[in-house]
Amino acid sequence: IQKWNSQYFERISLKTLGLCIQLGHTTGLKCPNPCRAFNDDFIVVDTHSIHEVSLDFCNCATAQSHIQQLLQISWFPLTTSDPKTAATFRVLEHYHLLSFESKVSAFEFYNALSRMSDNTGLLPIKVNLNFRCLQS
């Protein structure tokens, strides 16, 4: 995401813009017992970019596990304990098709996503993908 700062467009995260995603409840309902994602540092890998977002899990007595809450919104967590990075089902399907049709490796696919997020290479992308998770 880019924001105009009166001189030029600068990169800004969805988290900095104030986006907070609440899982485990119907859209628009506020959770009475939210649990912030581990270190308040959640990364979402999607087909058009890699995003930093603020994410709250539902921590109510009847809440499902964090993994299940992510899967319900079609995000695949990259770890099973304290997930702080997830890939959308859409990006996984995109990679799956590209790997069959063009034999693109997971490393090359990730580098392309990084370039879509910042093609200058000046800003570090805050994600550490385990490429074995993408290969199957």
> What is the tens place of the pLDDT at every residue in 1-34?
778 888 888 878 888 888 889 998 877 788 899 9
pTM score of the predicted model: 0.78
Say yes or no to pLDDT of 127 above 70.
no
What's the confidence (pLDDT) of residue 66? 93
Sign for the CA dihedral angle at 26, 77, 65, 81 comes to negative
- 117-123 long-range contacts, Cβ below 8 Å, gap at least 24? 117/49, 117/50, 118/11, 123/11
